[in-house]
Amino acid sequence: MQQALFSSVRDDWETPQFLFDGLNAEFGFDLDVCATADNAKCRRFYTKADDGLAQRWEGVCWMNPPYGREIEKWVRKAFEESQRHAALVVCLLPARTDTRWWHKYVLRATEIRYLRGRLKFAGACNSAPFPSAIVVFRPPRCGSVCLMAPQHAPQFPAPESKKRRR
């Protein structure tokens, strides 16, 4: 029974448009790193033939990876691209908090936003049998210099002023 709950003939479920639109308004995506020609959410996208795992990710990236056995590779790539190449990567992931990849990579993300209820993917008859989360990997700050294009630079809070103690 457990296998039926977490497996599917498909692993390329399309992101619901309302969810993408809300996140796109916030982040302004440049690149969909896991797409098909039919479900791409950005003008620039990588398909299975392009092998997004072998490509360099730049700018602000959207990732709804295949949810099968390869998911750890995708999450690792999202983390590494944010750290090495200053990509900001926003991921739609199953909230599998009991997995190795979740603890190894997701817990190092800048943000984890748990979605309330179960997400119904575009084209699906029913909601997913698992919870989902939006995971954001932001590039590290390098002093006060941001390594991203200004229009995509994350906003950081101003440092708090130090109060003198008496």
Per-residue pLDDT reduced to its tens digit, 8-36: 555 567 788 889 999 999 999 999 999 98
Per-residue pLDDT reduced to its tens digit, 97-131: 999 999 999 999 999 999 887 786 766 667 666 77
* pTM for the model: 0.77
Assigned superfamily of 2-141:
Vaccinia Virus protein VP39 (3.40.50.150)
Q: Highest mean pLDDT range out of 49-58, 129-138, 151-160?
A: 49-58
- The ranges assigned to domains in the chain are 2-141
Mean pLDDT, all residues of the chain: 81
Residue 152 CA, distance from chain mean position: 16
